Structure 1
Amino acid sequence: MKNRLRRLLRRGILVLADIVILYCCALFASYAVSANLQVVYANTLPIAGIIILQVAILMAFRLYNIRLVDSSLDLAIRGAGSLLLSGLIVLVLTLTGTKDFAFAFRLTSVYASFNVLLLLGYRIVYRVAFSYHVRGSSGNGYPKTLVYGAGEIGLQLARQFYKKKLPFNILGFLDDDPAKQHSIVGGVTVLGSIDSLSEVLRTTQAETLILAITNLSSDKMRTALDTAERFGIDTKIVPSLFEMEQGRKTVADIRSINFDDLLGRSPVTFDKTPIREMVYGRRVLVTGAGGSIGSEISRQLLSYEPSQLLLLDIDETDLHDLSLRLHQYQAEFSQDIMPIVCDVRNVPKVDRVFEKYKPEIVFHAAAYKHVPMMEYYPEEAIRTNIGGTYNVFSAAVRYNVARCILVSTDKAVNPTNVMGATKRVAEMVASMLSNDITKIVCVRFGNVLGSRGSMLPLFLEQMRAGVPITVTDKRIIRYFMTIPEAVSLVFLAGTLAAGGEVMVLDMGEQVNIYDFATRLVKYFGDGRSEVVITGLRPGEKLFEEKLSDKDKTLPTDNPKVFKAIVNGTLQPEEFAKFIQFVYTMEPSQLVRILRELVPEFSYQGPASLESGT
């Protein structure tokens, strides 16, 4: 209420100021045309009516919605439009009253000119005087700062700086575009490129470097960080494009470098309209909701406003914590968000869930995913990743679910481990059960940075403990994506598929794990940890095939999503018999059948598994 009154008072002051200025314009115009003020004095009431009409037109063009400090091109457009319209009306009224076109035209032209000069002029002068002021050399105590990136984001930072909304004293830009060298962008000079960073730092004595490029390559990221470290200056970065698109951050939310930034990969952007059309107003079930991927799926789903979100997981602690977070810690259960404790291997329970809640869309993320662990316990991976997927999708078909999306992995491509082979069979299960009513699609993506049990959390725990960071091979490379990006592309791929397909995501540039670990220790370590080589683990690949290889995929309408060319099918009757006995077979039998189902599976597990576990 207080803010509303303050806003109305500010607009009222502007209206009064404009009324006074418009009356002065009438006086100036009268004197300029006839060398006296009689025209104004003799027509006080008509002029008052004209001024009131002009103010009404300015209101209609929403000129008073623009704060003086934000005066910009929008002000010029709205102001010019409103003054042009009001000028034409004044011309018609003056012509009607005087019957003298020449006099009416001269008077109106001068009057309109003064309108533009004074009404828009004082707003611009205000902004120049109180916003784009020249700061003192001290920068109000803020650190002297260089900004790498003189594009749109850098320009926004410059504007925030001049508005006193940025706690940094910007000295200049750095940009790799030759056309911008030594030019002025937003009132700030481009002092050089990233290659001249050392020289610019010596000259300016800057204390902070802000990286204002959302798609900075890993090489340039490394150059910037290494140079900044050598000069002992702090390095900050703007939020990723993905964070800004999600509405969680703005350009001004500058933060320190974090672990994700070391990847130096370009963010993924896309149109969210198809996702909203798929999810809005529907009942959505997420299996494995308590996991890293499942919880992010659940969080993002809420932004698309499903009628009911069903969270299914076997881990009651993770499920409870997720439900609390999604309820903003105000409740544990609700009709809108319902946590369900359930094991996807429990056929009767899965069936009851579908019968009771009648989901219309299913995201199946429940799975065992840790490669080395599943080499020792293949029966658990087979029973959950294959049997659980069969149970969920069979129930979906029985209850006429409209669309199911299986979260798969790049390790299903020519698998060398049990986990990857089970996910490949899960894909074949999805293809086998998909039909015209229940469309089931699979989405493969690579390694997800920061997911539980993945590389980054392990490295961080090792650094905290002061023990060596373990990398299996100096040559090992992987494709990475952040959890929010991966989940958003899962949604998008699900909307593009017609049913029965395996969709794959463009994961960007590959990352050398050894180089990443080395940079992690260098920039975030405390001197106790070092990187050591331990040798490849059972089932681990040195290089992973790129999911979007044109020889193995077909393009779709979105350049970040492809359709995989896959081989292999399941025979429904024979597979149903296998599922009947999957919980009683010995591990060695299950591995043998897994190799038959996935001929390209190159098994590398411990020999002891062949004799049972």
Structure 2
Amino acid sequence: MTYRQRMSLFAVMDSVIVLTAIFFSRFLVTASFYIVTIPILVSSIVLLISHHFYSLKFKLYKKAWEYASVEELLIIFKSVTLSILTAGLVQQLINHDIYFRVLVVTWLLNILLIGGSRFCWRILGNFVLNKANNKKRTLIIGAGSAGIMVARQLKRSNEAELLPVGFIDDDSRKMNLDILGIPVLGRVSEIENIVRLQNIDHIIIAIPSLKKRELNVIFNECVKTKVKTQYLPMIEDLITGKVSINQFRDVKVEDLLGRDPVELDIESISEYIKDKIILVTGAGGSIGSEICRQISNFAPKKLLLLGHGENSIYSVDLELRNTFSNSSIEFIPIIGDLKDLNKMMTIMKNFQPDVVYHAAAHKHVPLMEEYPEEAVKNNLIGTVNLAKAASSYKVGTFVMISTDKAVNPTSVMGATKRLAEMMIQYFDTVSETKFVTVRFGNVLESRGSVVPLFKKQIENGGPVTVTHPDMVRYFMTIPEASRLVIQAGALSKGGEIFVLDMGEPLKIVDLAKKLIKLSGYKDDEIDIIFTGIRPGEKLYEELLKKEEGYEQQIYPNIYIGKRSLIYVNEIEDIITNYLIFDKEDLKRRLLDLANNRMMDHALLGASF
């Protein structure tokens, strides 16, 4: 119905109500059929004119009554009351008398009939125009303001496929109440039973301010129901209008880390990146490319994208140029190999970077067990070459990305990263450059992470392969890992190993189960099989060695580990002779040195 049609309909309806109400009031007050008198006729005309005047003034006819609330009722109250007062004033002027009882009854009838007509219109919209056929019975978790907005929107929307039938809330004051005609059915701990009793088809978590740990608790209860679960968008997105209240998103695996993400200290980062020359190695990788994206937000003068794979460097360069086309940042793609010392020296000499983020590395544990010499060349020699070049050309800050697998390593990959950490700490003692290391756990969705593997296996109908039922890992998101790296550069004084407090580790098998659930499958539809621990893997990872400990927290959830012994001479020996060692001997030497089992020499110096 068009606006003009709606306005005409309500205007005619109100006219009939106003004109007849005063005559009916006269009959009720006098109990006589002699109701048509000159004063009553004049009063009816005055009431009609004044009612429409005040209705237009207060925009009564512009209201969408399908969404009416207390505000609309107040407008009716004001319009009717002022029109009655106007009629009383006219009676006093003309007749020198006011029909108080008639006007009071007329006021009551107008409020009842005009308000009732709007209420009937809303009922018509809710129950006739907006039928619940084929809609999914939906349970809303959270009976706060956001949950009520969701329920109201779903009830009013003709297009919505969801029908709210109940709330879940742990607030005891809301138990057994009806909100918008929808009952509060119970607490979070009762979700499984309520879903079964109410035949729920869909669950919406409508608490935008929910912390990750609390979301994890709620989602674990939802998982038991085998019902699709979605999450209300962030409150910031709702306020800014990026999304509407009925645009729900699926719960993502990163929502289930059980902690809130690390936020950046924008001011300190801006100081050391803005208008500076930044070099990122491994810029085509999942971590390196995200570092590039986030750094670009701080307007560096130049961003050097160094990588070995031409396709990945080309892709990230093209993406950054498109995304930041309105900025003055100069993006410079560079194809080069960290093992080429002369190339690294040339890059440092030609571009004179202020900050280096070293994200390039071999990180696949089983592959590096098979080819330990490649791990040495890329993870250790490549890092040393880059550090030497940075030191020679007086780079301001050098940030190396390491891994929790470098702590008490049982794999070649972890051992080479641990030895690279030692060399970074060594270079900090002999160079004007500030050398620091950032250490964190597994990165969700990164190349080589279990999450993309699990998703692919689920897409193919299973089975999902997990190495061991008791295997646990620390997890963080790609943006979170990149933020930690950038923040570490701003906080560094030189020689530190920065560690993120990553909360509680997750069982890999639990992660697999949650991914199956998030993909819309039930537990019995996708099998999980255990394949056994692979060479070099551990059941659990650590973020710091025992002797490193937590020295101090310098930023929320970011700690500095204590320095440990560095074996530069022994590392130099491996770098010099790794090609003459057989595979098993090389693996043994790497692991012994990384685990401090070769303690013949302390830090005495080196020929680097």
- TM category (shorter chain) comes to 0.5 to 0.7
User: Which SS does the other structure have where 1:147 is aligned?
Assistant: strand
* Match among 420, 428, 442 for residue 422 of structure 2: 428
Go from structure 1 to structure 2 and tell me whether the alpha carbon gap of 1:174 and 1:369 turns closer, same or farther (over 3 Å shift): same
Is 2:400 the partner of 1:406? yes
In structure 2, what is the equivalent of residue 148 of structure 1? Answer: 141
Displacement after TM superposition at 1:467 (Å): 4.8
Is 2:294 the partner of 1:321? no
The 5 Å alignment of 1:340-419 reads: 340-419=334-413
Go from structure 1 to structure 2 and tell me whether the alpha carbon gap of 1:239 and 1:433 turns closer, same or farther (over 3 Å shift): farther
In structure 2, what is the equivalent of residue 224 of structure 1? Answer: 222
Deviation string 1:327-362 (CA, Å, 9 cap, x unpaired) is 23899x996222111111111111111112221111
* Inter-partner Cα distance in structure 2 for 1:322 and 1:340: 12
User: Which SS does the other structure have where 1:345 is aligned?
Assistant: coil
Displacement after TM superposition at 1:410 (Å): 0.5
Is 2:261 the partner of 1:268? yes
* Inter-partner Cα distance in structure 2 for 1:372 and 1:348: 31
* Match among 562, 567, 578 for residue 564 of structure 2: 567
- Measured on the aligned residues, the alpha-carbon RMSD in Å equals 4.0
User: Which SS does the other structure have where 1:509 is aligned?
Assistant: coil
In structure 2, what is the equivalent of residue 311 of structure 1? Answer: 305
In structure 1, what is the equivalent of residue 530 of structure 2? Answer: 533
Deviation string 1:279-298 (CA, Å, 9 cap, x unpaired) is 22221111011111111111
What amino acid is the match of 1:386?
A: L
Displacement after TM superposition at 1:314 (Å): 0.2
Displacement after TM superposition at 1:424 (Å): 0.9
Percent same amino acid among aligned pairs? 37
What amino acid is the match of 1:594?
A: L
Go from structure 1 to structure 2 and tell me whether the alpha carbon gap of 1:183 and 1:505 turns closer, same or farther (over 3 Å shift): farther
In structure 2, what is the equivalent of residue 255 of structure 1? Answer: 249
What amino acid is the match of 2:385?
A: N
Indicate the larger mover: 274-283 or 199-208.
199-208
Indicate the larger mover: 472-481 or 267-276.
267-276
* Inter-partner Cα distance in structure 1 for 2:381 and 2:241: 39
Go from structure 1 to structure 2 and tell me whether the alpha carbon gap of 1:401 and 1:271 turns closer, same or farther (over 3 Å shift): same
Indicate the larger mover: 456-465 or 185-194.
185-194
* Inter-partner Cα distance in structure 2 for 1:246 and 1:298: 26
In structure 2, what is the equivalent of residue 555 of structure 1? Answer: 552
Q: Is the 8 A contact 1:146 1:173 kept in 2?
A: yes
Q: Is the 8 A contact 1:218 1:264 kept in 2?
A: yes
User: Which SS does the other structure have where 1:434 is aligned?
Assistant: helix
* Inter-partner Cα distance in structure 2 for 1:243 and 1:362: 34
What amino acid is the match of 2:509?
A: Y
Q: Is the 8 A contact 1:407 1:442 kept in 2?
A: yes
In structure 2, what is the equivalent of residue 439 of structure 1? Answer: 434
* Match among 590, 594, 599 for residue 598 of structure 1: 594
* Inter-partner Cα distance in structure 1 for 2:374 and 2:567: 21
What amino acid is the match of 2:528?
A: V
TM-score, normalising length: structure 2: 0.67
* Inter-partner Cα distance in structure 2 for 1:375 and 1:555: 35
What amino acid is the match of 1:136?
A: N
What amino acid is the match of 2:224?
A: D
* Inter-partner Cα distance in structure 2 for 1:320 and 1:492: 27
Displacement after TM superposition at 1:380 (Å): 0.6
What amino acid is the match of 1:337?
A: F
Go from structure 1 to structure 2 and tell me whether the alpha carbon gap of 1:595 and 1:287 turns closer, same or farther (over 3 Å shift): same
* Inter-partner Cα distance in structure 1 for 2:138 and 2:387: 55
Displacement after TM superposition at 1:136 (Å): 1.5
In structure 2, what is the equivalent of residue 502 of structure 1? Answer: 497
* Match among 279, 285, 305 for residue 273 of structure 2: 279
* Inter-partner Cα distance in structure 2 for 1:315 and 1:418: 23
What amino acid is the match of 1:518?
A: K
Displacement after TM superposition at 1:236 (Å): 1.1
Displacement after TM superposition at 1:240 (Å): 6.4
Go from structure 1 to structure 2 and tell me whether the alpha carbon gap of 1:209 and 1:271 turns closer, same or farther (over 3 Å shift): same
In structure 2, what is the equivalent of residue 291 of structure 1? Answer: 285
Q: Is the 8 A contact 2:472 2:540 kept in 1?
A: yes
Go from structure 1 to structure 2 and tell me whether the alpha carbon gap of 1:224 and 1:464 turns closer, same or farther (over 3 Å shift): closer
* Inter-partner Cα distance in structure 1 for 2:149 and 2:303: 38
Displacement after TM superposition at 1:269 (Å): 4.0
Deviation string 1:556-603 (CA, Å, 9 cap, x unpaired) is 2323111112422144x775575455567654564454245323479x
Q: Is the 8 A contact 1:241 1:267 kept in 2?
A: no
User: Which SS does the other structure have where 1:555 is aligned?
Assistant: strand
In structure 1, what is the equivalent of residue 468 of structure 2? Answer: 473
* Inter-partner Cα distance in structure 1 for 2:340 and 2:438: 24
User: Which SS does the other structure have where 1:594 is aligned?
Assistant: helix
What amino acid is the match of 1:537?
A: R
The 5 Å alignment of 1:126-205 reads: 136-137=126-127, 145-150=138-143, 154=147, 157=150, 167=160, 170=164, 172-181=166-175, 190-198=184-192, 200-201=194-195
Go from structure 1 to structure 2 and tell me whether the alpha carbon gap of 1:583 and 1:551 turns closer, same or farther (over 3 Å shift): closer
Displacement after TM superposition at 1:150 (Å): 4.3
Q: Is the 8 A contact 1:414 1:600 kept in 2?
A: no
* Inter-partner Cα distance in structure 1 for 2:405 and 2:240: 29
* Inter-partner Cα distance in structure 2 for 1:496 and 1:139: 57
Length, aligned pairs only: 468
In structure 2, what is the equivalent of residue 514 of structure 1? Answer: 509
* Inter-partner Cα distance in structure 1 for 2:224 and 2:288: 37
User: Which SS does the other structure have where 1:491 is aligned?
Assistant: helix
* Inter-partner Cα distance in structure 1 for 2:451 and 2:188: 28
* Match among 227, 232, 240 for residue 238 of structure 1: 232
Radius of gyration: which is bigger? Answer: 2
* Inter-partner Cα distance in structure 2 for 1:281 and 1:226: 52
Q: Is the 8 A contact 1:553 1:563 kept in 2?
A: yes
Q: Is the 8 A contact 2:410 2:537 kept in 1?
A: yes
Displacement after TM superposition at 1:412 (Å): 0.8
* Inter-partner Cα distance in structure 2 for 1:346 and 1:255: 46
Indicate the larger mover: 270-279 or 177-186.
177-186
In structure 2, what is the equivalent of residue 80 of structure 1? Answer: none
Displacement after TM superposition at 1:159 (Å): 8.2
* Inter-partner Cα distance in structure 2 for 1:245 and 1:594: 54
Stretches of structure 2 lacking an aligned partner (at least 5 in a row):
1-62, 65-117, 599-608
Displacement after TM superposition at 1:437 (Å): 3.7
TM-score, normalising length: structure 1: 0.66
In structure 1, what is the equivalent of residue 457 of structure 2? Answer: 462
Displacement after TM superposition at 1:401 (Å): 1.3
User: Which SS does the other structure have where 2:555 is aligned?
Assistant: coil
* Inter-partner Cα distance in structure 2 for 1:335 and 1:494: 20
Displacement after TM superposition at 1:381 (Å): 0.6
Deviation string 1:500-536 (CA, Å, 9 cap, x unpaired) is 0101111122211122223434553587741112211
